[in-house]
């Protein structure tokens, strides 16, 4: 059996992922590019007698060094020995799509164009001459319709053929005489010096020449390894000056102009379209959803619906899983009886992992909604409408609003939703403030305390905590923006894609991926952490689980003085805070266990809480619970999303400092003002 490897390349929103899902189905694996935070989707399929490995490259508009995604894609084409690069192109927007194509042609990649979304092109009355296009590009062109799985056989056959007869796609690429004439000298100079075994030995000299003229940092750095690199740089500077004199533009602009001029030529020869663009369905919807008056109400309504659906549909399933684990615990207790094994399994594993797994239905639903909103194209509009607010207040952009709102539900899908942001610094900054959005798991804690201390103002007190979270998020974002991400101003450039019906298959596959990776995490990080906490609660031998004499009780006692300035210096509070790191709901359960009560006995817990806290220290405690380290699941998600321990650790530090500071101010300020 033969084995070929292909890369899927293309702009964002062209149906690349849909095609990938259609081709590979569940035979795919999503991970990260080595050392990068960029998602890498790999899959395979068998066709005739060939195993085709497919790598879905990030969606890019170009192959410069604008983003890590562009660099990842470029490195893949340059360095990895792929047989064919399939360039997925949106037929309704050939012009801009072909820009990426020209850059891959510069590299001489063995290209195959998969022309997608032809039905929309026909709706817009665009007539594309496929044969002429293929002829002029010098690469095969296949018409497909990824959402309907049309053209699959033809595409796969073309891929096989292309793998057997590779073409040098740079042959047909011609930039104007002025440019190519001048490039010749530089090219041959580079060619002469690029013979040794260096990083660039397998790319065309013409490409290196263009990149040098475009001031590409990475290539410039690599060329410094060449023998006569100074001579090369001299020539580059000479050319830049020459072009500046002739065109009064810098070389980057000139090269972009030539690329588009080549594309314009192609379009004139191959596409017939109406003089005036037809008003599309997309524009009609956009008139409404980005309307000056209706824009916000529509956004809020969609958000409300999303929450309602997620939590009303999700809650029963959540209960079901919770009850299932409860029954499992009882069952295990019956078989194993009392003893350390049953305690490990019931208190440790089921208590920790089981508690976290109850979130699976919520995560599935939330992710489902997000995928639908994103794939349909609405999310981009929401970001467009909200950008000004986010920019003014937090220094972020419109896209970061969605994760923050999702954070009120559950931090895990919220952190995952930061994927929609292009720039890594924006993503990370957003991740760092998402935990301050009060997630639903904190609600039981508030419920317990407001019932015990603020019975008359329950709603108001809870709302004040939500607002406190938002205020802290804004302040933390401002500080981080000033310190950690100084000088990182990210402009808001975003395509507003045409509205499309999301492909059910794609949405389901992605949702499954997410849910599964969450379950996997529950089985690893969270399992390990739960066991550690169980061990700490059970040792030394014969101690009562989680009592003051247990290791965790002793740790709680030891650290409790730290919390005296915050008003809750009792060891029970410290232990509940430690346990709360596993999951926020555990805080309430901990008070129950510590008081030697059945977990369900709310009134008993209320009594314990009333004896331990004053209203002021209770409020300070709630503020602490709101702001401090998010749960294991969230920390694990940050680790997974950023592909390093740096940011989860930073998150732990930031949230702890914020929580301590705010609680301190509340308690001390409150005491000064005479509250108690």
Partner 1 sequence: MTIKTLNELKNGEEGVIVSFNDEGDPNLKRHLLGMGFVKGSKIRLEKVAPLGDPLKLRLKGYSICLRKKEAANIKVEVAN
Of 526, 502, 223, the C-alpha closest to 367 is 502
Angstrom distance (rounded) from CA 319 to CA 241: 70
The answer to whether 99 contacts partner 1 (rule: CB under 8 A) is yes
Using CB under 8 A, pick the residue from 83, 387, 570, 585 that binds partner 1: 387
Nearer to partner 1, 268 or 489 (CB): 489
Residue-wise burial string across 545-581, b where 16 or more C-beta atoms lie within 10 A, e elsewhere = bbeeebebbbebbeebeebeebbbebbbbbbbbbbbb
Nearer to partner 1, 447 or 496 (CB): 496
Site string for partner 1, 389-418 (x = CB under 8 A): x-x---------------------------
The answer to whether 170 contacts partner 1 (rule: CB under 8 A) is no
Contact yes or no for 657/563 (Cβ under 8 A):
no
The answer to whether 277 contacts partner 1 (rule: CB under 8 A) is yes
Angstrom distance (rounded) from CA 3 to CA 296: 52
* Residue 199 φ then ψ, to 5°: -65, -20
- From the list 174-182, 244-252, 550-558, 663-671, the region that binds partner 1 by CB under 8 A is 244-252
> Cβ of residue 585: shortest distance to partner 1, in angstroms?
38
The answer to whether 12 contacts partner 1 (rule: CB under 8 A) is no
The number of CA neighbours under 13 Å toward the Cβ of 609 is 30
Using CB under 8 A, pick the residue from 32, 220, 250, 668 that binds partner 1: 250
Using CB under 8 A, pick the residue from 22, 28, 93, 537 that binds partner 1: 93
> Cβ of residue 380: shortest distance to partner 1, in angstroms?
8
| Chain mean position to CA 413 | 10
The answer to whether 660 contacts partner 1 (rule: CB under 8 A) is no
Contact yes or no for 13/495 (Cβ under 8 A):
yes
Dmax (CA) for the chain in angstroms is: 89
Angstrom distance (rounded) from CA 110 to CA 168: 6
* Sign of the torsion angle spanned by Cα atoms 238, 239, 243, 249: negative
> Cβ of residue 71: shortest distance to partner 1, in angstroms?
12
Nearer to partner 1, 72 or 605 (CB): 72
> Cβ of residue 91: shortest distance to partner 1, in angstroms?
11
Of 57, 42, 39, 58, the C-alpha closest to 641 is 39
Q: Which helix (H) or strand (E) holds 162?
A: helix 152-164
Residue 676 per-residue DSSP state: -
The answer to whether 500 contacts partner 1 (rule: CB under 8 A) is no
The answer to whether 276 contacts partner 1 (rule: CB under 8 A) is no
Neighbours of 340 (CB within 10 A): 13
Task: Please give the residues from 197 up to 226 whose contact with partner 1 meets the rule CB under 8 A.
Answer: 214-215
The answer to whether 62 contacts partner 1 (rule: CB under 8 A) is yes
Phi-psi region of 138 (alpha: psi -120 to 50; beta: other; left: phi over 0): left
Nearer to partner 1, 252 or 322 (CB): 252
Nearer to partner 1, 2 or 244 (CB): 244
Using CB under 8 A, pick the residue from 45, 130, 218, 256 that binds partner 1: 256
Angstrom distance (rounded) from CA 299 to CA 301: 5
> Cβ of residue 94: shortest distance to partner 1, in angstroms?
8
Of 499, 368, 507, the C-alpha closest to 13 is 499
Nearer to partner 1, 369 or 421 (CB): 421
The answer to whether 426 contacts partner 1 (rule: CB under 8 A) is no
Angstrom distance (rounded) from CA 1 to CA 217: 42
Nearer to partner 1, 295 or 607 (CB): 295
Q: Which two tokens stand for residue 563?
A: 């919390």
Nearer to partner 1, 94 or 356 (CB): 94
Using CB under 8 A, pick the residue from 122, 164, 296, 312 that binds partner 1: 296
> Cβ of residue 647: shortest distance to partner 1, in angstroms?
23
Nearer to partner 1, 400 or 612 (CB): 400
Q: Which two tokens stand for residue 488?
A: 């990182």
How many chain residues are in contact with partner 1, going by CB under 8 A? 44
Nearer to partner 1, 44 or 273 (CB): 273
> Cβ of residue 98: shortest distance to partner 1, in angstroms?
10
Nearest 5 degrees, angle CA 219-CA 222-CA 228? Answer: 110
> Cβ of residue 402: shortest distance to partner 1, in angstroms?
16
- From the list 87-95, 152-160, 538-546, 661-669, the region that binds partner 1 by CB under 8 A is 87-95
Site string for partner 1, 135-154 (x = CB under 8 A): --------------------
Nearer to partner 1, 405 or 662 (CB): 405
> Cβ of residue 248: shortest distance to partner 1, in angstroms?
9
Using CB under 8 A, pick the residue from 34, 491, 540, 674 that binds partner 1: 491
Nearer to partner 1, 93 or 194 (CB): 93
Site string for partner 1, 532-571 (x = CB under 8 A): ----------------------------------------
> Cβ of residue 62: shortest distance to partner 1, in angstroms?
3
Reduce the DSSP state of residue 372 to 3 states and report it.
Answer: helix
Of 416, 414, 410, the C-alpha closest to 401 is 414
Nearer to partner 1, 96 or 419 (CB): 96
CB contact set of 75 (below 8 Å; sequence gap of 6+)? none
Angstrom distance (rounded) from CA 404 to CA 397: 12
The answer to whether 33 contacts partner 1 (rule: CB under 8 A) is no
Of 477, 405, 471, the C-alpha closest to 662 is 471
Cα–Cα distances (Å) from 282 to 117, 121, 209, 287, 476, in that order, read 15, 14, 41, 9, 38
Angstrom distance (rounded) from CA 569 to CA 612: 9
* Residue 494 φ then ψ, to 5°: -145, 130
Query: What is the contact surface with partner 1 in residues (CB under 8 A)?
Result: 61-62, 64-66, 92-96, 99-100, 214-215, 249-250, 252-253, 256-257, 260, 277, 283, 286, 290-293, 295-296, 384-385, 387-389, 391, 489, 491-497
């Amino acid at each position: 059996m033969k084995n070929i490897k292909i890369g899927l390349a293309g702009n964002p929103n062209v149906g690349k992922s849909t095609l990938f899902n259609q081709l590979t189905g569940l035979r795919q694996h999503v991970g990260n590019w080595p050392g990068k935070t960029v998602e890498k989707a790999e899959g395979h399929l068998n066709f005739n007698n060939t195993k085709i490995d497919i790598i879905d490259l990030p969606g890019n508009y170009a192959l410069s060094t604008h983003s890590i995604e562009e660099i990842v894609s470029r490195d893949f084409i340059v360095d990895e020995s792929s047989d064919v690069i399939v360039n997925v192109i949106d037929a309704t927007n050939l012009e801009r799509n072909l820009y990426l194509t020209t850059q891959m042609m510069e590299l001489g990649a063995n290209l195959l164009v998969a022309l997608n979304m032809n039905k929309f092109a026909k709706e817009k009355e665009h007539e594309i001459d496929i044969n002429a296009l293929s002829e002029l590009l010098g690469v095969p062109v296949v018409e497909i319709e990824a959402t309907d799985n049309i053209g699959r056989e033809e595409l796969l056959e073309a891929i096989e053929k292309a793998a057997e007869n590779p073409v040098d796609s740079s042959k047909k690429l011609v930039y104007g005489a002025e440019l190519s004439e001048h490039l010749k000298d530089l090219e041959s100079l580079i060619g002469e010096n690029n013979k040794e075994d260096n990083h660039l030995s397998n790319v065309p000299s013409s490409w290196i020449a263009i990149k040098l003229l475009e001031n590409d940092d990475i290539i410039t750095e690599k060329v410094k390894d060449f023998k006569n690199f100074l001579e090369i740089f001299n020539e580059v500077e000479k050319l830049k000056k020459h072009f500046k004199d002739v065109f009064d533009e810098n070389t980057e602009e000139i090269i972009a102009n030539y690329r588009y001029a080549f594309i314009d030529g192609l379009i004139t020869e191959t596409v017939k379209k109406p003089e005036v663009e037809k008003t599309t369905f997309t524009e009609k919807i956009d008139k409404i959803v980005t309307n000056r008056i209706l824009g916000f109400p529509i956004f809020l309504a969609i958000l409300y619906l999303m929450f309602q659906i997620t939590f009303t549909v999700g809650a029963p399933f959540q209960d079901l899983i919770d009850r299932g684990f409860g029954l499992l615990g009882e069952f295990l207790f019956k078989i194993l009886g009392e003893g350390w094994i049953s305690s490990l399994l019931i208190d440790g594993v089921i208590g920790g992992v089981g508690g976290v797994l109850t979130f699976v239905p919520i995560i599935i639903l939330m992710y489902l909604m997000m995928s639908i909103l994103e794939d349909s194209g609405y999310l981009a509009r929401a970001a467009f409408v909200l950008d000004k607010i986010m920019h003014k207040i937090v220094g972020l952009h419109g896209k970061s609003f969605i994760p923050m709102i999702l954070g009120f539900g559950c931090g895990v899908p919220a952190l995952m939703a930061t994927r929609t942001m292009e720039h890594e610094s924006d993503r990370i900054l957003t991740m760092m403030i998402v935990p301050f959005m009060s997630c639903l798991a904190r609600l039981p804690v508030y419920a317990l305390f407001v019932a015990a201390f603020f019975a008359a103002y329950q709603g108001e007190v809870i709302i004040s905590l939500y607002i406190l979270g938002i205020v802290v998020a804004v302040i933390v974002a401002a500080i981080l923006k000033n310190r950690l991400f100084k000088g990182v101003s990210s402009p808001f450039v975003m395509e507003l894609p045409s509205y499309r019906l999301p492909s059910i298959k794609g949405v389901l596959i992605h949702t499954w991926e997410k849910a599964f990776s969450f379950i996997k995490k529950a089985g690893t990080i969270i399992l390990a952490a739960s066991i550690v906490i169980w061990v700490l609660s059970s040792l030394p031998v014969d101690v009562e689980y989680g009592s003051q004499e247990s290791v965790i009780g002793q740790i709680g006692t030891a650290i409790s003085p730290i919390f005296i300035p915050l008003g809750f210096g009792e060891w029970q509070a410290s232990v509940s805070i430690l346990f709360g790191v596993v999951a926020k709901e555990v805080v309430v359960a901990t008070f129950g266990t510590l008081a030697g009560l059945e977990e369900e006995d709310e009134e008993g817990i209320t009594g314990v809480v009333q004896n331990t806290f004053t209203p002021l220290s209770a409020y300070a405690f709630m503020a602490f619970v709101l702001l401090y380290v998010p749960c294991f699941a969230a920390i694990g998600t940050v680790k997974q999303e950023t592909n390093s321990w740096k940011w989860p650790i930073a998150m732990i530090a930031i949230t702890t400092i914020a929580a301590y500071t705010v609680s301190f101010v509340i308690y001390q300020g409150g005491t000064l003002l005479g509250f108690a």
